[in-house]
Amino acid sequence: MPRQSRQSSRPHSRPHSREPASRRQTHPVDELLPVPRLALYGFQHVLAFYAAAVIVPVLLGNALGLSRQELVHLINADLLTCGVASIIQALGVWKIGARLPLVQGVTFTAVSPMIAIGTGAGGGTAGLLVVYGAVITAGIATFLFAPLFSKLVKYFPPVVIGTVLTIIGITLIPVALQDAAGGAHLIGTPAYGSPKNLAYALGTLLFILALVRVGKPLLSSLAVLLGLVAGTTVAWVCGDVDLGVVDQADWFGVTTPFHYGMPRFELFPIIAMLVVMLITMVETTGDVYAIGEITRKRVDADTIARALRADGVATVLGGILNSFPYVAFAENIGLVRMSRIMSRYVVAAAGVFMIALGLLPKAGSLVASIPHPVLGGAAVSMFGIVAAVGVQILGKADLREERNTLILAVSLGAALLPTTVAPFFDRMPDSVRAVLDSGITLGALTAIALNLVFNVFTGRSTMDIDWDEVEDTGTARPAGGAFAH
């Protein structure tokens, strides 16, 4: 009997020992798709990303009084750096890059501080030089601080990460709605919020929803791209797409390092940018957790450190190549969720497209000709998904606990303060306003501070994300690039 029991146990032990090997197949994040699909899905990321990518140099350039030629150079430099940064983040180099489908873009958190820094330095290219000095310094600090910050992740439980992501989505939705109404440049004119603009936006959104509703994997994965193409085509037929900018643009343009001169390093601008990068580190941490949740890929302290190093390298590169601070873009996280295409090589392909657009102003102008209402209609769904992922992560926190509920409630209120009571910040000193006049910054700082007061300093335990459970519910599926949620 003992021999029989040992013999009978062997057939059961062998399959069990081989079970992990059978499950160790290519994860959708590491799946290398055929070139045509890489190109299609990568270009979809570019279209979803483009409007938000170029808005930062446009806002800053206009605020500093730059000429049209200087503004075009800023946009090309931004796109080129975005492409390089996205490839580094997606593919990884040494200990740099999360190796996740994260698109890198200029952080909105830095817009107000950079405008304050640039105008305080006299505006124009002279102001840009002070901005670039602060950007380069902050990028180096981010790279060096990344390993230590990743060890502080335990102080960012789901209640903080979920709150930050929800704030990012809620803060970005008004930007999408503004585009849906025709764009910020039309505010105060009869065209802003006109029925025609809202029709373009609503038509694009409904077209995307219809493609997703059909349920065909290919149509669903390309829903945003097809929606943008369809909306732009309808607008062109109606005579609302201006291609004159494309004719005026050059075919080729190269961004040279320190195009405007050598950066100037001044103390207070550097301090303001360091605070901005601290917030973007929290933002990137939330984005990495979000993409890990969506793709069912484990995220640990090393992943966070590699992602933050990529932010630091991209920010230093941005300062050298006449661009700005970089962060993982929440917009494209929403696109990953919608398309269910999780390969990081798709983001690398998007990076190649962005580099090409940065070197080919005419091609970039063609993409820029997509009407604002069409972009706004598509962006509403993607920004909303970012907020939804935040709510999903908040579901891992015990919101029945009053303290956690207060962290979420007060942080949401703080995030809405800059947009609802703008005069309050106008009365602040420029150095303070440069840091706090941002819903994402103020909301994230509030969530972090309240978590320290309510949970960390009191020694209360907080719930962490169970990555074993996340992976168990995801990696057993075939590597086809689509998970059901």
211-215, 245-249, 372-376: which is most confident = 372-376
pLDDT at 334 over 50: yes
Residue 34 token pair = 């055929």
What pTM did the predictor assign? 0.70
The residues that bridge with 66 in the sheet, in sequence order, are none
Report d(CA 118, CA 317) in Å as an integer. Answer: 19
Burial of 230 (0-12, 13-18, 19+ CB in 10 A): middle
pLDDT of 465: 59
Residue 318 has pLDDT above 50, yes or no: yes
Task: Report residue 168 as tokens.
Answer: 């990012």
pLDDT at 184 over 90: no
In SS3 terms, the chain reads as: CHHHHHHHHHHHHHHHHHHHHHHCCCCHHHCCCCHHHHHHHHHHHHHHHHHHHHHHHHHHHHHCCCCHHHHHHHHHHHHHHHHHHHHHHHHCECCECCCCCCCEEECHHHHHHHHHHHHHCCCHHHHHHHHHHHHHHHHHHHHHHHHHHHHCHHHCCHHHHHHHHHHHHHHHHHHHHHHHCCCHHHCCCCCCCCHHHHHHHHHHHHHHHHHHHHCCHHHHHCHHHHHHHHHHHHHHHCCCCCCHHHHHCCCCCCCCCCCCCCCCCCHHHHHHHHHHHHHHHHHHHHHHHHHHHHHCCCCCHHHHHHHHHHHHHHHHHHHHCCCCCEEECHHHHHHHHHHCCCCHHHHHHHHHHHHHHHHCHHHHHHHHCCCHHHHHHHHHHHHHHHHHHHHHHHCCCCCCCHHHHHHHHHHHHHHHHHHHCHHHHHCCCHHHHHHHCCHHHHHHHHHHHHHHHHHHCCCCCCCCCCHHHHHHCCCCCCCCCCCCC
For residue 361, what pLDDT is reported? 74
Write out pLDDT tens, residues 64-102.
777 767 777 788 888 899 999 999 999 988 899 989 999
Written as one letter, the residue type at 44 is Q
Q: Is the pLDDT of residue 22 over 60?
A: no
Mean pLDDT of the 156-180 span: 83
Neighbours of 265 (CB within 10 A): 14
Exposed, middle or buried: residue 324 (CB in 10 Å: 0-12, 13-18, 19+)? buried
Does residue 7 have a pLDDT over 60? no
pLDDT of amino acid 308: 94
What is the Rg, in whole angstroms, of the alpha carbon atoms belonging to the chain?
A: 23
Instruction: Identify the residue with better confidence: 222 or 203.
Output: 203
pLDDT band at 388 (very low <50, low <70, confident <90, very high): confident
Give tens-digit pLDDT for 133-154: 999 999 999 999 999 988 887 7
Give Cα 105 to chain centroid, integer Å: 6
Q: Please state which of the ranges 32-36, 176-180, 399-403, 461-465 shows the lowest mean pLDDT.
A: 461-465
User: For the segment 226-249, what is each residue's pLDDT rounded down to a tens digit?
Assistant: 888 888 889 888 888 777 666 776
Comparing 207 with 461, which gets the higher pLDDT?
207
Half-sphere exposure of 415 toward its Cβ, with a 13 Å CA cutoff? 25
Tens of pLDDT along 273-315? 888 888 788 878 888 888 888 888 888 889 999 999 999 999 9
Least confident piece of the model among 195-209, 378-392, 431-445? 431-445
Nearest to 371 by CA among 205, 172, 200: 200
